[in-house]
Amino acid sequence: MSELLPSEGAVEAAGPSESAPLALLNREQAILAFNRRVLAQAQREDVPLLERLRYVTIVSSNLDEFFEVRFADVLEAARAAPSEASRADLAAVAARAHGLIDEQYAIFNTEVMPALERHGIRVINHADRSEPQRRWVAGFFEREVRPLLMPIGLDPAHPFPQVANKSLNFIVHLGGRDAFGRESQIAIVKVPRVLPRVIRLPADVCAPGEQGFVLLSSVIRAHLDELFSGRTVESFSQFRVTRDSELEVDDDDVTNLRQALRAGLTTRHFGQAIRVEVVSSCPPDLWRFLLEQFDLPEAALYRVDGPVNLVRLNELIDLADDLAAGAALRFAPYEPGWPAGRLPRAGSIFDTLRERDVLLHHPFESFEPVVEFLRQAVNDPDVLAIRQTVYRTGAKSVLMDLLIDAARRGKEVMVVVELKARFDEEANINWAERLEAVGAQVVYGIVGLKTHAKLLLVTRREAGPRGAPQLRRYVHLSTGNYNPKTARLYTDIGYLTADPGIAADADAVFQQIASLTRVKPPRHLLTAPFVLHRRLVRHIGQVADAARAGRPARIVAKFNALTDPGLIHALVDASRAGAQIDLVVRGACMLPPGVPGQTERIRVRSVVGRFLEHSRILYFRWGTGEDDEVLYLSSADWMGRNMFRRIELAWPVRDARLRQRVIDECLVPYLHDSRDAWELQRDGSYRRVGTQGVSAQQALMARFGS
């Protein structure tokens, strides 16, 4: 077995030891710290320029969700129970968010955009446009934009309009009198979402070799006065409001969850305002007016030095040519391959799984074997039943189309569709309705619990040992979603098996979700909210006991977040006992490593690279024997919601060959990464390990790409 590197050696949470309570790190601050690490990718000169811009837009997208969900909770807590502590917490998180956004725009304005301009990609403001460019923009405005704009002058009969979540708008202060002789001063211009936010200029109005772009906000700004004939535009600003986007559905007070969520989607865009963004030049009277309209404190105002929605600059990335001034501006294409040596492409996947389990490491290996597994099940007349969980599959999905086809062919199809997957509710509702229309059995999981487990079960009639027919089950489990698109962008592990024990457990999981009855506890799968948390605490305790007894004691775990106090307490106790612990935590981690006497044997690192780290891998060793170690793959992060408010799975990798492969590919490289890795410090800050060394992701790309 490859040797795993030994570790080098506020919320109060008391651990099981007699030591003083350990002050945990703030969760919201930890989320913002992760986005700072993502933003740092935009400053790396070894990252292609358009990809650097993409990291800037990713931070904007992440921060939108942070405000819609996490900051909304912090703000609500401060409003519901105002206290010195809640106000201080709100102020601290808001200050950190302001600092991060200011840094983001500084990098955008002083590093990324000037570098793109040096390579001939220019976003041209009105003042810098040539006369031919201004004529073209004026024509575009008249043809494509002005017919869709309807300014609203505010007065008692024209109240402040409903402004949708994250939409682009303008607030305008007008001089003079309106058409009825009154001095109405404020107008609002809502910009329809159907309009492109980035427009590429024709080559004939640009300099040779130049790619010219204009932003929609700049186009409207240049022609704003044309919307107010007879008035003067004295001041204006673009603005954007972010709203609380949690769908509030009382699970205990609805008769049909799908119908209730469908109704809730219509009002989601107009929830409680959380944040207002304006440009830095916005006059105080205008931003104060906006804060008053949205009932927000000044801490919720973000004055930004640029467009108020950087995430929409993804359109520029899509429109720009790949090569500029002879430089590659995007990552070199990477095409994950089919694992031909372990899974013959032309053969039956069922035949292979009767011989051995198959492990797939995405995105370095293709997701297509998973699609082909389901396709063969749909086309095989001996397959009688297919059951699958669906969390995030996308608005277009070959897997969902195959399930619909299976139902049309008369197979027994059951799909557990999680309707409350945040921001995927509408797509999942649509799939649920399409599946029901062709006769598939669709259930929406368990009331009060999100179904986050990734599980696909196929039941097939086969000839038994003496020729008599028997039923055999085949299973696919995964750490990530059934989504071919994200499978090219996220690191995840898929596991195909015909192991009778795991298959029986998988069947029991579906039986319990569908029938709501008690089932025999699974023997091999660890399920939340039932045994997963308890088993993990037990394994950590076994490691702690081994350390106290002087036996080998080791934990290496990789997941996306660590915020559950119970698991943190157990890890701290194991560290105090002398266990060596390495954690690879992509996002929020509330455990401060390196605290003398408490967590000095715990090392926490985060890897941020080309792909989003998403796999969950858990390794425990508490001795020298073959039975003194276990390795699990899991759908669950180490968060309270995953352990107690979701249906989750973890499963052991019992095949020694595959277990070693997981260690060699998914743990060891990340402990050695000296290019994309960051190490968490005891104060919650992160220190970059390096920028010139070995990248785990690049090493895996080279390994599987050869």
Residues tagged active-site? 452
Q: Specify the residue for token string 């960051």.
A: 678
State the DSSP string of 53-101: HHHHHHHHHHHHHIIIIIIHHHHHHHHHS--HHHHHHHHHHHHHHHHHH
Please give the C-alpha separations between residue 231 and each of 67, 104, 219, in angstroms, as whole numbers.
Answer: 37, 37, 19
b/e per residue 580-591 (b: at least 16 CB within 10 A): bbbbbbbbbbbb
CA distance 35 to 43: 13
The secondary element (H helix, E strand) that includes residue 651 is strand 646-652
d(CA 429, CA 417): 8
Report the Cα–Cα distance between both ends of the chain, in Å, rounded.
24
Structure tokens at 273: 């305002």
Whether 274 contacts 93, CB under 8 Å:
no
In 108-195, where does DSSP find H-type helix? 113-118, 131-140
Residues 6+ away with beta carbon under 8 Å from 72: 244, 245, 246, 272, 274
Residue 159 main-chain phi, psi, to 5 deg: -70, 170
- Measure the CA angle with vertex 313, ends 266 and 130; round to 5°: 125
Owner of token pair 């308890």: 534
Q: Angle at Cα 8 formed by Cα 5 and Cα 13, nearest 5°?
A: 115
Distance CA 270, CA 241 (A): 10
Of 455, 434, 437, the residue nearest 445 (C-alpha): 455
CA distance 496 to 358: 5
Listed in sequence order, the residues at least 6 apart from 670 whose beta carbon sits closer than 8 Å to its beta carbon are 558, 584, 605, 607, 677, 696
> For residue 61, which amino acid is it?
S
Written as six digits, the tokens of 607 are 């890897």
Buried b (16+ CB within 10 A) or exposed e, 387-404: bbbbbbbbeebebbebbb
Let me know: does 410 contact 383? Beta carbons within 8 Å.
no
**Strand intervals (E) in 329-468:** 358-362, 383-390, 412-417, 441-443, 450-451, 454-463
Contact 588, 606 (CB under 8 A): no
Query: Which residues, at least 6 apart from 116, have a Cβ–Cβ distance to it below 8 Å?
Result: 49, 50, 53, 122
- CB 647, CB 446: distance < 8 Å: yes
Helix pair angle (84-107, 49-65), 10° resolution: 160
Q: What is the DSSP code string of 561-621? A: -B--HHHHHHHHHHHHHT-EEEEEESS-B-PPTT-TTTTTTEEEEEE-SSSEE--EEEEEE
Closest CA to 613 of 680, 670, 675, 686: 670
- Written as six digits, the tokens of 462 are 């086969």
Query: CB within 8 A of 333, min separation 6: which ones?
Result: none
Amino acid at 317: I
